[in-house]
Amino acid sequence: TFDVTFSTAGHNVPSTLYGLMYEDINSGDGGLYAELIQNRAFQQVTPGTSTALTAWAALGSGKISVVKSSSPVSPALPNALSFAVPSGTTSTVGFTNSGFFGIPVTAGWTYTGSFYYRTPSPPATKVSGSFTADLRSTGGTVFTSTTVPFTTSATWQQATFTFTASSTQTSVQNLFALSVGGSTVSGLTMEFTLISLFPPTFNGRTNGFRMDLSETLLDMKPAFFRFPGGNNLEGETAADRWAWENTVGDLVDRPGRVGDWGYINTDGLGLYEYLQWIEDMDMEPIMAVYAGYSLNGASVASSDMQTYVTEAINQASPIEFLINFVIGDASTNAQAAIRASMGHPDPFTLNYIEIGNEDFFSPTTYADYRWADLYNALHAEFPQLHYIATSATSGNVPSLSPAPTYWDLHIYSNPNFFINGAFNFDILSRNGLQFFQGEYATTTQNNGAALQYPFIDGSIAEAAYMAGFDRNSDIVFAASYAPLLNHVSSTQWTPDLITFSPNTVIRSTSYYVQQLFSLYKGDFYLTSTTNTASTPVQWSVTRDTSAGQYFLKVINTATSANTVVFTLPFTPSHTTGTGTILTAASGTQNTPTSPNAAVPSSFSFTAGKTIMYNTPGLSLSVLVVTD
Ligand code: AHR
């Protein structure tokens, strides 16, 4: 039996404690970003190659290829899909796109589409006709369609259309098709680009986020969103880094980039879209800036940091521009005016800037000049912001000058690490430092075997570690599991908190752990101790002061039951409490074929000054007691 007693001590729980870490790692294009067309603008591909045609196929006898347009739609989008129709063609011709490993067809959804087109050598007499835009099965059954009028012209025209699906298809093996009667376009060569199709989006935003994924995240009530990386901030080289200025403005002005996770980022999910969605989700951003270190292991040389830093003081730094885009005064600042022109005249909320991501991989250059160069310049310009330094482990922070107050720590390990590390933050001195556990996850079993999906043993071990976040939330101001999301058909990092397909979302066992800690965060931590060893049981008690509720979290990392007896510092007014428990047999995982193998369930219990709770093996329970 674990007897838990309380002292009079305690501390506030920061409102930022539980949130999300996000980067586009098999989860932005084709994931959070609701765009359904893959390779919509042929960004960053080499014309003439088959890879350039990824996701596209010809329909009928028309020939498609990706070309460098002689008159591109914009400097940012030099390529186009060339569609050549042989003379004498009479049957239907066109092309299809297979989406990001499928396209969902859902009854009642109105899809919004658009594309640019032109005829490089138009006939002397203009040709007019109609394209048909539709969603169809790979077998050719059309589910919804509309006609889109066109007239040949050497200059680019934009066509827009909508259609509404009247049935839901279980299979996502569907295609978007754009087709036209062959006799209308016989002998013509046309170019197309930025061919886009959106389903309804979260909060109805244009160029917005996927609804079901947003709602799944909203169900966690996350406090913050760390973005844009992660490694995807850094680029393979400095030239490839995430460059915010390429991600704002009209979609035709976004060139996209070769992301760090093996595919092209369209940057349709740009800085503005992220910030608007973060606001819609009632989160605050923790925004990272590039700090002169990239994944090829090279640091920007001290003399070259001028590009990133000195210009900041001269009002010409991409990073200062970035911050002014987010929080500047739109009436006086050019970057803030871009934000206003996109629809948000008021500044966004911004309190935290992280300087780099895992820059400890080059500790010498970070310590010698990169941290200081960026911190000094940015702090001088934006003294109201908190600057977070990146580091390796909680006990081993490098020596930086000026000394950071805020540190981001990352750890990926096995269940035993998290169980044994539950007191990692208790042993740190209270010297003013504040910690962000910006990335952590159980990635392997204790024997080292890799995990494709979180498993209950690891998720409960994470819960034990998270009791340490609650307990040490006087010095841990934020924590987020990573990675957040991955596509079931395309991934290179497992496990992830949430796995999705084009039409399903799988909440992992670790998702439910994160959700329970976030929903029952409270605003005050009550210090307590037990009479016995700290393992296998961990616990934490917090209070929601205005609701007059106490949250007793109990984590049992053993496979067998244990008993915990709480002697509360008050007598509850309600003698019946409500509880929520996540528990499952060792090895249990939520997977695409078994998405609900372990889900939380509720129960009631007798609440008094003393509460005896029998905690099942491998469980996280939250007991809610009313004062
Ligand atoms: O979360 C996946 C990766 O792990 C992140 O991009 C990086 O910061 C860490 O190494």
**Which residue owns the Cα nearest ligand 1 atom 4?**
230
Quick: pLDDT tens for 56-65: 999 999 999 9
The Å distance, Cα 231 to ligand 1 centre, comes to 6
Helix (H) or strand (E) run with residue 499 in it: strand 498-500
> What is the arithmetic mean of pLDDT over 545-561?
97
| Whether 507 contacts 47, CB under 8 Å | no
**Which residue owns the Cα nearest ligand 1 atom 2?**
483
The Å distance, Cα 388 to ligand 1 centre, comes to 16
The Å distance, Cα 230 to ligand 1 centre, comes to 5
Q: What are phi and psi of 536, to 5 degrees?
A: -85, 0
Determine the atom of ligand 1 nearest the C-alpha atom of 493.
Answer: 2
The Å distance, Cα 529 to ligand 1 centre, comes to 35
In this structure, what DSSP letter does residue 309 have? T
**Which residue owns the Cα nearest ligand 1 atom 7?**
230
Pocket test for ligand 1, best of 20, 439, 485, 496 (most atoms within 8 A of CB): 439
Report H helices in 317-370: 318-327, 334-341, 363-365
Q: Sheet harboring 386-391: ordered strands across?
A: 20-21, 224-227, 284-289, 352-355, 386-391, 406-413, 434-442, 476-479
User: Which band of pLDDT confidence, cut at 50, 70 and 90, is reported for residue 318?
Assistant: low
pLDDT reading at 133 higher than 60: yes
How many CB atoms are located within 10 Å of the residue 609 CB?
11
Quick: pLDDT tens for 184-243: 999 999 999 999 999 999 999 999 999 999 999 999 999 999 999 999 999 999 989 998
Q: Exposure pattern of 542-577 as b/e (b: 16+ CB <10 Å)? A: bbbeeeebbbbbbbbbbeeebebebebeeebeeeeb
The Å distance, Cα 110 to ligand 1 centre, comes to 36
Quick: pLDDT tens for 7-38: 989 999 999 999 999 999 999 999 999 999 99
Q: Tell me what ipTM this predicted complex has.
A: 0.99
Determine the atom of ligand 1 nearest the C-alpha atom of 357.
Answer: 8
| Whether 283 contacts 49, CB under 8 Å | no
CA dihedral (598, 604, 608, 613) positive or negative: negative
> CB within 6 Å of ligand 1 — which residues?
23, 25, 229-231, 357-358, 410, 439, 482-483, 493
The Å distance, Cα 313 to ligand 1 centre, comes to 31
pLDDT reading at 118 higher than 60: yes
Determine the atom of ligand 1 nearest the C-alpha atom of 482.
Answer: 1
Residues 6+ apart with CB under 8 A from 431: none
The Å distance, Cα 77 to ligand 1 centre, comes to 30
In this prediction, residue 314 carries a pLDDT of: 41
How many CB atoms are located within 10 Å of the residue 115 CB?
24
Residue 586 vs residues 451, 580, 599: alpha-carbon distances, Å: 14, 19, 14
In this prediction, residue 306 carries a pLDDT of: 67
Distance CA 73, CA 538 (A): 60
| DSSP letters spanning 346-373 | SPPP--EEEE-SSGGGSHHHIIIIIHHH
How many CB atoms are located within 10 Å of the residue 488 CB?
17
Q: Which CATH number fits domain 20-25+204-454+470-494: 3.20.20.80, 3.40.50.300, 3.40.50.460, 3.40.50.150?
A: 3.20.20.80
Name the percent of the chain lying above pLDDT 70. Answer: 96
Q: Tokens 């075997």 belong to which residue?
A: 449
Determine the atom of ligand 1 nearest the C-alpha atom of 232.
Answer: 6
The Å distance, Cα 485 to ligand 1 centre, comes to 12
User: Which band of pLDDT confidence, cut at 50, 70 and 90, is reported for residue 298?
Assistant: very high
In this prediction, residue 303 carries a pLDDT of: 82
The Å distance, Cα 293 to ligand 1 centre, comes to 14
Structure token pair of residue 593: 């074929």
The Å distance, Cα 483 to ligand 1 centre, comes to 7
Determine the atom of ligand 1 nearest the C-alpha atom of 439.
Answer: 1
Angle, helix 318-327 to helix 271-280, in steps of 10 degrees: 30
> What is the arithmetic mean of pLDDT over 123-151?
97
Quick: pLDDT tens for 56-109: 999 999 999 999 999 999 999 999 999 999 999 999 999 999 999 999 999 999
The Å distance, Cα 360 to ligand 1 centre, comes to 13
In this prediction, residue 353 carries a pLDDT of: 96
51-198 is classed CATH 2.60.120.260: yes
Q: Which residues pair with 66 in a beta bridge?
A: 81
**Which residue owns the Cα nearest ligand 1 atom 8?**
230
Name the percent of the chain lying above pLDDT 90. Answer: 90
In this structure, what DSSP letter does residue 490 have? B
Pocket test for ligand 1, best of 493, 494, 496, 497 (most atoms within 8 A of CB): 493
User: Which band of pLDDT confidence, cut at 50, 70 and 90, is reported for residue 395?
Assistant: low
pLDDT reading at 316 higher than 70: no
Report H helices in 219-301: 271-280
Distance CA 203, CA 394 (A): 38
Q: What is the rounded average pLDDT for all residues in the chain?
A: 94
Quick: pLDDT tens for 445-478: 999 999 999 999 999 999 999 999 999 999 999 9
* Domain chopping of the chain, boundaries: 20-25+204-454+470-494, 51-198
At 158, the amino acid letter reads Q
Quick: pLDDT tens for 347-385: 999 999 999 999 888 888 999 999 999 999 899 989 999
**Which residue owns the Cα nearest ligand 1 atom 1?**
483
> What is the arithmetic mean of pLDDT over 119-128?
96
User: Which band of pLDDT confidence, cut at 50, 70 and 90, is reported for residue 401?
Assistant: very high
Q: ω before 483 within 30° of 0 (cis)? A: yes
Pocket test for ligand 1, best of 354, 355, 357, 498 (most atoms within 8 A of CB): 357
3-state class (DSSP) for residue 137: strand
